[in-house]
Amino acid sequence: NAGVTQTPKFQVLKTGQSMTLQCAQDMNHNSMYWYRQDPGMGLRLIYYSASEGTTDKGEVPNGYNVSRLNKREFSLRLESAAPSQTSVYFCASSEGDGGHNEQFFGPGTRLTVL
């Protein structure tokens, strides 16, 4: 039982390059989330998917797109990376949406945009 897995662990991009961050969970969870974490800012929600087939914007969606490929997988795409997107990205999942569900987090992807 791997929980939530993320790839890659580290990535360096040049401004304007694109990339996709992959996330998968094996807990049969319905809801999945993408956060970014910056020093002093805490976790900020980028996008989430309450259930397979749905996605919604979070607090900081600009510059990102997501795909809920199936129940297990939720990817985050940066179409044209900018230095402001340098951050640590965490994927999380929960059984359902709503504040009563604990979230399970992946190990994170550390992204640097030059």
Residues 6+ apart with CB under 8 A from 58: 33, 34, 35, 44, 45, 46, 47, 48
Helix runs in 47-99, H state only: none
Which residues make up the interface to other proteins (CB under 8 A)?
Answer: 4, 31, 33, 35, 40-45, 48, 50, 56, 58, 90, 92, 97-100, 102-108
Looking at the Cβ atoms of 14 and 98, the one nearer to other proteins is: 98
Looking at the Cβ atoms of 59 and 79, the one nearer to other proteins is: 59
Looking at the Cβ atoms of 74 and 106, the one nearer to other proteins is: 106
Q: What is the DSSP letter of 1?
A: -
33, amino acid identity: Y
CB atoms near residue 26 (< 10 Å): 12
Shortest reach from residue 106's CB to other proteins, in Å = 6
Shortest reach from residue 108's CB to other proteins, in Å = 6
